Homo-oligomer: A and B are copies of this chain.
Amino acid sequence: MASRQLRIGELARRTGISADALRAWERRYGVLRPARSEAGYRLYSEEDEARVQAMAREVGRGVPAAEAARLVLAGGADSGERGDFAGAADELRRALDDFDDARSQSALDALLAAFSFETVARKVILPYLRALGERWERGEASVAQEHFASFVLRGRLLALARGWDRGAGPRAVLACAPGERHELGLILFGLELRAHGWRITFLGADTPIETLAAAVEALTPEIVVVAALAPDHMSDIEPALGELAADEKLYLAGTDAIEPLAGRTGAELLRGDPIEAAAAVAAAARGAGS
């Protein structure tokens, strides 16, 4: 129990919500009920932090603050997941490690049937991919399961993506930079952006820059997103990216390593995991749109 007690400034830093706003939320909607230090400082528990995160997520999605507060207080926001989440997630990991397609699919079925896509993506798929990546970086690479796992996940995500260019929302064109072959993160990004009402056109791994240019010309999307985990070999396309950024709203998604590249080309950098990034893009477009 006696869990960590954060003060308002720290909580603000962690959640990205200004201290002023946190006080306002407390006063106006009663979302938080922080303990007080002797001197009267607010002391927030981890639960409070989770609540703020939930609230921030809803607000980010466009739900008005008052409504978001109602949701969070009612426990209606997807904070309190029921069911055997950890169990299903474990089963998935084990099945993938055993090269067992059928069992993997069943585990994914169970997860997706019981939880929102966003939750499955954030709590299962992304952590799994992250763990794979770390093993790879530590040279425990060529983990035999990696190929198999990414094949299975990709197939599944692509099935969810079917027809994701339908509708009337703004359009985004997504592509991996030339040489870049990790498209799973970009698919997750696309799925989440789709959930925000966007239409997605996906060009996939290792897309030549001319292909991207042609697609952009044909489709006149609202934004263009290029995934480029590492800046290696990227110098060739830097001029082309610059041109693209001049005409279109261009985002670069990847590690911090590409920050300078983004700066030089006039593109914007996407930070955080794909789910967060998608929410950020949607929010930015919302802001700009008005």
Contacts and interface: CB of A to CB of B under 8 A. Distances in A.
B286 A163 contact: no
Interface string A253-290: 00000000000000000000000000000100110011
A63 interface: yes
Nearest to A282: B168
Contact of A106 (B102, B116, B200): B116
A62 B14 contact: yes
Interface string A1-26: 11111110110011111000000000
B83 A204 contact: no
A206 B205 CA distance: 13
B166 A195 contact: yes
A156 B3 CA distance: 22
Contact of A162 (B85, B98, B155, B198): B155
A203 interface: yes
Number of this chain's copies in the complex: 3
A70 interface: yes
Interface stretch (A127-135, A146-154, A223-231, A244-252): A146-154
Nearest to A191: B83
Interface string A174-203: 010000010000000001000111111111
A1 B147 CA distance: 19
**Most central of A142, A169, A198 by chain B CB within 10 Å:** A169
Contacts of A106: 116, 118-119
A2 to B, nearest CB: 3
Contacts of A214: 142, 144
Interface of A: 1-7, 9-10, 13-17, 37, 41, 43, 49, 53, 56-58, 60-64, 66-67, 70-71, 74-76, 80-86, 98-102, 105-106, 109-110, 112-119, 123, 142-144, 146-148, 150-151, 154-156, 158-170, 175, 181, 191, 195-208, 210-212, 214-215, 218-219, 282, 285-286, 289-290
A98 B1 CA distance: 11
Contacts of A5: 63-64, 67, 70
B202 A199 contact: no
Contact of A2 (B9, B15, B71): B71
A105 to B, nearest CB: 5
Identify the 10 closest CB pairs spanning chains A and B, nearest first: A167-B197, A2-B76, A155-B158, A144-B214, A10-B62, A14-B197, A168-B197, A109-B119, A101-B165, A56-B168
Contacts of A156: 158, 162
Given A15-B168, A67-B5, A105 B116 contact: yes
Nearest to A166: B102
